Amino acid sequence: MVRLESSQPRKQRKARYNAPSHVSTKYLNAPMSEELSEQYKRKTLRVVKGDTVKVTRGDFAGEEGLVDAVDTKNAKIVVHGVFSTKADGTEVPRAVSASNVRITKLNLADKRREENLAEAE
């Protein structure tokens, strides 16, 4: 993450907004469920498309669903079943911060991700 000496919120926001991609991907880490945490010996993991997550904060707390999309630029994720209703009645997906969800099931289709998790055990 970007290391700052300043405690000023404006400088912290600026550093987060201007962070390079290899740093901003760390903002997409989410805590894992108790079972997964014990199994893989890790507390947090980066959220990827296909993971199953449970929303823990906000208007949709308690909702569980698959991750449909990951927005790395804004550090948000789109969860299936979490949506906002517009004035004309149409439903649009609502982006959720990765820190406000808990990973309940992992998508292990990526072999590299599976190997990295196995190394931690």
**8 A C-beta contact, residue 45 and residue 32:** yes
What average pLDDT does the segment 11-24 reach? Answer: 90
Mean pLDDT of the chain, nearest integer: 92
d(CA 97, CA 92): 16
Structure confidence by residue, pLDDT tens digits, 22-46: 988 999 999 999 999 999 999 999 9
Q: Which CATH number fits domain 9-120: 3.40.830.10, 3.40.50.300, 1.10.357.10, 2.30.30.30?
A: 2.30.30.30
Give the CA-trace dihedral at 6, 47, 99, 76, to 10 degrees. 80
**Kind and range of the H or E run holding 92:** strand 91-97
Least confident range from 9-23, 52-66, 80-94: namely 9-23
Look-up: residue for tokens 């997550």? Answer: 53
The model carries a pTM of 0.86
In this structure, the number of other CB atoms found within 10 A of the CB of residue 15 comes to 15
Write out pLDDT tens, residues 70-90.
Answer: 999 899 999 999 999 999 999
